Structure 1
Amino acid sequence: MKKTYRGSCHCKAVTFEADIDLAQGTGKCNCTFCWKDRMWNAGHLKPEDFRLLSGEEVLGDYGKSGDWGEGHHRFCTKCGITTHGHGRLEVMGGEYVSVRLSAVDDLPVEELMAAPIQYMDGLHNNWQSPPTETRHL
């Protein structure tokens, strides 16, 4: 069941709300970006499930695109914390938003730990399979 969570970057310049159903799972990936960012996200959100409340003017954007689609990692240019991402991937049903769970301010640890995790082998472009090792993710 969807629940509305509030989140922010470290300095609170960027704030947001997101309607997330943690029972649908969370995601961790081993691609070089996710590994370096220690990304743990709630993805597969529809754009209407995410509301940026403040900080549009301080959001930085690291984006990539190609035949596979388009993805943007958004971060606060004041404190550097990544808060969310968005883009278009047909494999995910088109337009999507993902929220960095580390940026959610009111997520009880118990709820986070109860959420299923899907591991993706982005390092080898094998997105439909988990990597052989996940303990470090």
Structure 2
Amino acid sequence: MSRTPQLVEYRGNCHCGAFKFKLKVPEIKEAEACTCSMCYKNGYLWAFPKPDKCWEFTVVKGDENTTLKNYLFGKKMMAHKFCPSCGTSVMEVRMPHSTVVNAPSMAINIRTLEDVDFDSVKVNTFDGASILQPPYQIPEPVAAGPVPEGTTSYHGNCHCGAVAYTLLSGKKISEAASCNCSICWRDAALWIYPESKAVTFKGLESAVEYTFAKGGSHHGFCKICGVSVYERFVGTHQDNKSALNVRTMNDLDLAALEIEQLDGKSLLPAYDVWGTEE
């Protein structure tokens, strides 16, 4: 006789707290990372409901269908749901018309959960990039004028292509920074910090900027697909620079980059949207 697994209750939320939920499941020890174009840009870590295990999902604040915004692409079988205020990608839900065999009814981005021991979570990779059809079409690059000799052009965009940019860099990108603060961790952002004058943007009218705490960093994400693209700095020592999320860069091999770990989580004030709420 199989034993009922012991359940652990996790609290989850978008960064601004407009959408909060509780997830009661067996202890999360594994997660799935998909290589498809959307999951790659958002750096999702997925937990899927298992038919043979308990799975309790309860919304505490907000509404799945009105607080969160849907983004669909390809054959539009799964709705990627993100907060339109802070950009946090929370979950995906199978659409009623889906014809995909054995597709999960929903999945939770565990980056939105508290109290997960991420250092011990085993991440399994799913090669969605080679399976999902039609293939992702990279948008046309942003024109940035003449490229000086010895300069490399890097082109990037959100998933839907509404927000895009070209970076002209005097050196090859070989490293990026991963910050463990509450917003960067949720966005799975990998940052570089070029001078703003080296970046040509297109479609900033489709971007939403979200800031919190001391308001020094304005996190720009696409209001259509929710992908985190850039940071704009105000009143800091980096006001002449922009941060670019290299996950949004096309034809850049992330595995070849040296990743610097930044401990933004330790900076005050401490992040806490739950407070005494249950």
- Report the TM-score range of the alignment, normalised by the length of the smaller protein: 0.7 to 0.9
Q: Distance in 1 between matches of 2:8 and 2:101?
A: 25
1:64 Cα deviation after fit: 4.6
**Partner-residue secondary structure (3-state), 1:86:** strand
Q: What residue in structure 1 maps to residue 123 of structure 2?
A: 117
Q: What residue in structure 1 maps to residue 69 of structure 2?
A: 60
Q: What residue in structure 2 maps to residue 129 of structure 1?
A: none
**Partner-residue secondary structure (3-state), 1:58:** coil
| 1:1-137 equivalence runs, <5 A | 1-21=6-26, 22-23=28-29, 25-44=30-49, 49-56=56-63, 57-64=66-73, 66=75, 70-87=77-94, 89-92=100-103, 95-107=104-116, 111-125=117-131, 135=255
Q: Distance in 1 between matches of 2:36 and 2:7?
A: 28
1:62 Cα deviation after fit: 1.2
- Deviations along 1:64-121, one digit per CA (max 9) or x if unpaired, are 574xx821111111111111122165324xx5221111111232xxx32223222111
- Between Structure 1 and Structure 2, the one with more helix by share is 1
**Partner-residue secondary structure (3-state), 1:35:** helix
- Deviations along 1:47-70, one digit per CA (max 9) or x if unpaired, are 96212221213210113574xx82
1:19 Cα deviation after fit: 1.9
Q: RCO (CA 8 Å, sep 6+): is it higher in 1 or 2? A: 1
Structure 1 length normalisation: TM-score?
A: 0.73
- Between Structure 1 and Structure 2, the one with more strand by share is 1
- Deviations along 1:13-42, one digit per CA (max 9) or x if unpaired, are 11011123324x210011100011111121
Q: Distance in 1 between matches of 2:83 and 2:127?
A: 27
Structure 2 length normalisation: TM-score?
A: 0.39
Q: Distance in 1 between matches of 2:129 and 2:74?
A: 16
Q: Structure 1 10/117 Cα, relative in aligned 2: closer, same or farther at 3 Å? A: same
Unmatched runs of 5 consecutive residues or more in structure 1: 127-132
Contact map agreement 2:46 2:108 (CA 8 A) in 1: yes
Amino acid at match of 2:127: D
Contact map agreement 1:20 1:45 (CA 8 A) in 2: no
Contact map agreement 1:9 1:103 (CA 8 A) in 2: yes
Identical aligned residues as a percent = 20
Q: Distance in 1 between matches of 2:82 and 2:50?
A: 18
Q: Structure 1 134/124 Cα, relative in aligned 2: closer, same or farther at 3 Å? A: farther
Amino acid at match of 1:81: T
